[in-house]
Amino acid sequence: MQTEIEAKFLQVNPDDIRERLKKAGASLEQPMMLMRRVIFDNEAMQAKNGFVRVRDEGHRIAMTYKQYDEMSLTGAKEIEFSVSDYDAAVAFVEAVGAKPKSAQEARREIWKLDDVEIVIDEWPWIDPFIEIEGPSEDEVKAVAEKLGFDWNDAAFGDIMTAYRAQYPNTGTEREDMVYNLPNIRFEDEVPAILRA
């Protein structure tokens, strides 16, 4: 599996980030667009803190197995490849025995600076955040610095990292997590799990 080297900076203003990116010489690779995904798991994946994701990114459809060995800069491991049919991919994963856990929406804008990808992410019920992903820890840290971020403010891990930062009462047990909700969509009301 490939190691994902990625840091998040939470609760950002997208317009401010765009200005920082332009000033640093980054290029816009994909304007903000809606993405949809379905998350699947089973007991074996849960035991490894893993899941399968089918995601329509607008310009491609990606199928991913992802697991978090730890919530750190290099703790995420993944296998990802492109497929041609979103609905067929979802049906395939179900047919091999993984259960759909959550249908989700998010918006994403992708920028590139050197060999590093910077994404502005918007998810339901939380403030926007960015992810900086690159081929090495040094390159990720260098881009974070170019964009004016303090490395001490970096967050690591799955999407629950962003939800817990904004909703500190969200539990840490698997059953308390937002991605257990059957739907995470922009038009839905803030769920009780976040209002507790």
| Tens of pLDDT, residues 134-155 | 999 999 999 999 999 999 999 9
Full-model pTM? 0.91
* Residues 4-56: tens digit of each pLDDT: 999 999 999 999 999 999 999 999 999 999 999 999 999 999 899 899 999 99
The identity of residue 81, as a single letter, is F
Pick the closest to residue 37 from 10, 14, 11, 64 (CA basis): 64
Pairing mode of beta strands 183-184, 99-113: parallel
Residue 172 pLDDT more than 70?
Answer: no
- Per-residue model confidence (pLDDT) at position 195: 77
Residue 174 pLDDT more than 90?
Answer: no
Cα–Cα distance for residue pair 157/74, rounded to 1 Å? 9
Residue 107 pLDDT more than 80?
Answer: yes
Residue 170 pLDDT more than 80?
Answer: no
- Per-residue model confidence (pLDDT) at position 193: 81
- Per-residue model confidence (pLDDT) at position 196: 66
Residue 173 pLDDT more than 70?
Answer: no
- Per-residue model confidence (pLDDT) at position 61: 97
- Per-residue model confidence (pLDDT) at position 194: 82
- Per-residue model confidence (pLDDT) at position 31: 96
Residue 177 pLDDT more than 70?
Answer: no
Band of residue 179 on the pLDDT scale cut at 50, 70, 90: low
**11 φψ region: left (φ > 0), alpha (ψ -120 to 50), beta (else):** left
Give residue limits of the domains in the chain: 2-195
Pick the closest to residue 2 from 99, 69, 98, 95 (CA basis): 69
Pick the closest to residue 179 from 14, 45, 80, 60 (CA basis): 45
* Residues 54-102: tens digit of each pLDDT: 999 988 999 999 999 998 989 999 999 999 999 999 999 999 999 999 9
Structure-token pair, residue 192: 């009780």
Domain 2-195 has CATH 1.10.540.10: no
The identity of residue 65, as a single letter, is Y
